[in-house]
Amino acid sequence: MSLDYMLKKLSVCSPWLFRINAGSCNGCDVELATTACIPRYDVERFGCRYCGSPRHADIVLITGPVTTRVRDRVLRVWEEIPEPKVTVAVGICPISGGVFREGYSIEGPLDKWIPVDVNVPGCPPRPQAILEGVVLAKSIWMKKLGLEG
Amino acid sequence: MSDTLLAILHMCVFPGGAFALLVAMFFKGLDRRVEARLQRRVGPPLTQPWIDIAKLLTKETLIPKTACRPAFLLAPVFGFTGMAVCAAFIPVPGVFDGLFNMGDLLVIFYLLPIPAMAIMLGGSASSSPFGAVGFSREMLMMLAYETPLLMILLAVAMLTGKAMNGGSWGAEFSLLNIVALQQQVGSFGYNPVMIPAFLAYLIFLPGTMGVPPFDIPEAETEIIEGPLLEYGGPLLAMFQITSALKTFVVLGLGVALFFPGTISDIWIVNLVWFLLKCLALMLLSLTLVKSAMGRFRIDQAFRFYVMVPTALALCSLILVWVM
């Protein structure tokens, strides 16, 4: 077993989360920021940590239907995240546009611009669903590192 | 020659380098775990700091085009070296006397700000506006907490010096003598004159470690980690290791200054006793405060540090002077 393999094997136990708001109504953001973090649902037990900088991120959680104004910023920030990264679309908006679908200012869905790895539907999704999405993202990250999930 | 080799060994293996790193990483894991338990969460496993480091080593390093490359790359190394050397100066009572036995308190005082300087250097070299904001905040915090630290060290040095000179004025900057004196006459932590200084040291700890409520320079919600914003991968891992080593250094220094008593002649028992005291200090001044409080604004924190711990430390200093 090589050192590289061991480091990779360990690394999936430390997913740092980064949130991008792509024009969300804040419902999903509130669920992410508070519900998934409060004692009852504790994401830290998977080794997760919310980080402020895209440079530190491993799993990126994107909320919102990708509005015209915010699209370029989202793409720019997403590109700043070092590889390997896993993208999770949280809420129905980034998946299909949700109630904002076909609005004049909506450039979504998100997978038109960014390869999305995990979809967590809901308006807003339940905290349990968000946690499950993060755990799924962990196994996808393992696959991206070349380990069997 | 062999002295130099021995000094290098002390810096790399015990108590600096490997030993300090092992202890500090364990403390850090315990800190996160206890914090989670205090908030009624499960918390990460105890090995989480190691896992974080392993993860960061597998990530790619991105360097901003506009950054000053040499300074940006050297800053984490600079901080790490400073702390690895500084850890060798910490005496483990009954086990190790500290690297040099003359004026090492002053050397520690000069080495302690190095991680903060490294963060400032890295932040300003990263060419990010958030780095610049973090730089100015880190600078302000440093000015605020270094003053009480200097007064605490002076109070301890003067108390020791007076006792060694038989009551006349004196100052002793050797940690070896400070520890030896306390083992004879009792720990300074129990001395009523030194209690304000000890309280000031407890307040100094969260400020220098940059943990809530004083994590203002690296506030992730306002200035997205400030100076560390552009760092990622192995470079960030280096900053994390530096911060862990610094935890060990400031806790060890606190134990050496205020509670260096030993309980037996067997070195392993003394070592465990020393670590337990460090742990108690950490839980009291870092973990408990961190899990219960939000973040101060920079002006509030500055005013707090200039008023409260400085006044406490000054109190001890004057009491030591007049008594």
**Tell me: the pLDDT tens digits for B214-266?**
887 777 777 777 788 888 788 888 888 898 888 888 998 888 888 887 777 77
Half-sphere exposure of B154 (CA within 13 A, CB side): 17
Ranges B150-154, B157-161, B248-252, B310-314: which has the least confidence: B157-161
Which DSSP string corresponds to chain A? Answer: --HHHHHHHHHTT-PEEEEEESS--SHHHHIIIIITTSTTT-GGGGT-EE-S-GGG-SEEEEES--BHHHHHHHHHHHHHSPSS-EEEEESHHHHH-GGGTT-TTB---GGGTS---EEE-SSSPPHHHHHHHHHHHHHHHHHHTTS--
Residue whose entry in the numeric block shows the structure tokens 């990010």: B128
**Tell me: the pLDDT tens digits for B178-223?**
887 887 887 777 788 888 888 899 888 888 888 888 887 777 777 7
- Note whether A127 and A30 are within 8 A (CB): no
Distance from CA of A38 to the nearest CA of B (A): 8
Quick check: B48 contacting A, CB < 8 Å? yes
How many domains, in total, are found in chain B? 1
**Contact assignment for B41 to A42 by CB distance below 8 Å:** yes
Q: Which residue of A has its CA nearest to B131?
A: A53
Ranges B92-96, B232-236, B318-322: which has the least confidence: B92-96
Which of B48, B51, B233 is closest, CB to CB, to A82? B233
Supply φ then ψ for residue B59, to 5 degrees.
Answer: -85, 160
Beta bridge partners of A21: A63
Whole domain around residue B108: which residue ranges? 3-322
Interface of B with A in 49-68 (CB under 8 A): 50-52, 54-55, 57-62
- Note whether A60 and A83 are within 8 A (CB): no
Within 8 A of A55 by CB-CB distance, chain B residues are: 62, 229-232, 236
The yes-or-no verdict on residue B42 having pLDDT over 70 is yes
Q: CA-to-CA distance for B227 and B67, rounded, in angstroms? A: 12
Q: What is the average pLDDT value for chain B, to the nearest integer?
A: 83
Which is nearest to A52 in space by CA: B174, B2, B156, B223? B223
**Contact assignment for A11 to B55 by CB distance below 8 Å:** yes
Q: CA-to-CA distance for B137 and B242, rounded, in angstroms? A: 19
Distance from CA of B178 to the nearest CA of A (A): 41
Q: Which residue of B has its CA nearest to A55?
A: B232
Q: CA-to-CA distance for A129 and A124, rounded, in angstroms? A: 10
Residue A112 pLDDT level (bands cut at 50, 70, 90): confident
